[in-house]
Structure 1
Amino acid sequence: MFAERIGYIVWFSDWKAARGLDKYGTLHYLSRKMQYAVLYMNADAAEEATRNLQRLPFVRKIERSYRNEIKTEYESNVPDKTRFYGL
Structure 2
Amino acid sequence: MTHVVTQPCFGCKYTDCVVVCPVECFYEDEKMLYIHPEECIDCEACVPECPVEAIFHEDNVPEDWQEYIAMNAEKCDDLEVITEKKEPLAEE
TM over 0.5: no
Pairwise TM-score range, normalised by the shorter structure: 0.3 to 0.5
Instruction: Provide the TM-score with structure 2 as the length reference.
Output: 0.36
Name which structure has the greater RCO, CA cutoff 8 Å, separation 6+: 2
Larger Rg: 1
